Amino acid sequence: TTCCRCCGFIGAEKSKSNIDIAIKEVRDALGKEGALISAKDFQEQANEHKELSKKWFYGVIFSLIGTVILTVLIFGGFIPALSIVNAQGDYLKIIQVSIFKLVLLSISYLVVYQTLKNYKVNQHLYVVNKHRQLVLSVYPLMAKATNDQEQSNNIVAQASKAIFEQNTTGYLDGDGNPNPINLTEVITKIIDKKA
């Protein structure tokens, strides 16, 4: 009777071990498949932002060239109607021409600023998505490289951190942060002031 119990216990332990191995294999396969699907999505997003950043870069170049040409035209005396020299004491015309030139330069500056900002945002998103794609492509291989579950969990945790944390790339400065206001901090400060 004792032998049957012992064999039954050993058989149950072996079955449990086989089930644990099967569950780990299924989990690893699903994790790898999910990582590959996500990596593909991040790669597509990276490619999209890379193309957009190229277009915005050309926009920056053209807007800078346009600004230089506009500046030469309005201050070089090529357009007689915009010349202050011809105003000869007509202060109203001098003010009108000066304001018109200022408005033209402001619009030109705004175009340069906006195209540069869009270039930097798309380049930032390209780098972030490319980084995420690379992490997702490599992490299944690194997780499989160890049989230690704790090490595997640490690898997954670090990969998740690398993927989902806000990363800096150098393309966006403090003013160009796509999430400039942290609503949680604002609400916390309001609640603290009321309390």
The arithmetic mean of pLDDT across residues 155-159, rounded, is 75
Residue percentage of the chain with pLDDT more than 90? 28
pLDDT tens, 129-152? 888 888 877 777 776 777 777 777
Q: Distance of CA 150 to CAs 137, 144, 155, 157, 159, Å?
A: 21, 12, 9, 10, 14
The arithmetic mean of pLDDT across residues 160-179, rounded, is 68
Distance between CA atoms of 131 and 143, rounded to whole angstroms? 18
Please indicate, yes or no, whether the overall pTM of this predicted structure exceeds 0.75. no
Average pLDDT, whole number, for the chain? 77
Q: What is the pLDDT of residue 21?
A: 55
Q: What is the pLDDT of residue 1?
A: 45
Task: Give 180's pLDDT tier (boundaries 50, 70, 90).
Answer: very low
pLDDT tens, 74-89? 988 888 888 887 777 7
Q: What is the pLDDT of residue 47?
A: 92
Q: 38 and 129 in contact (C-beta within 8 Å)?
A: no
DSSP assignments along 95-146, one per residue? HHHHHHHHHHHHHHHHHHHHHHHHHHHHHHHHHHHHHHHHHHHHHHHHHHT-
Alpha carbon 81 to its chain centroid, in Å, reads: 47
CB atoms within 10 A of CB 5: 9
pLDDT tens, 91-130? 888 899 889 999 999 999 999 999 999 999 999 999 988 8
Q: Distance of CA 168 to CAs 50, 120, 162, 163, 176, Å?
A: 17, 12, 11, 12, 11
Q: What's the full length of the chain, in residues? A: 195
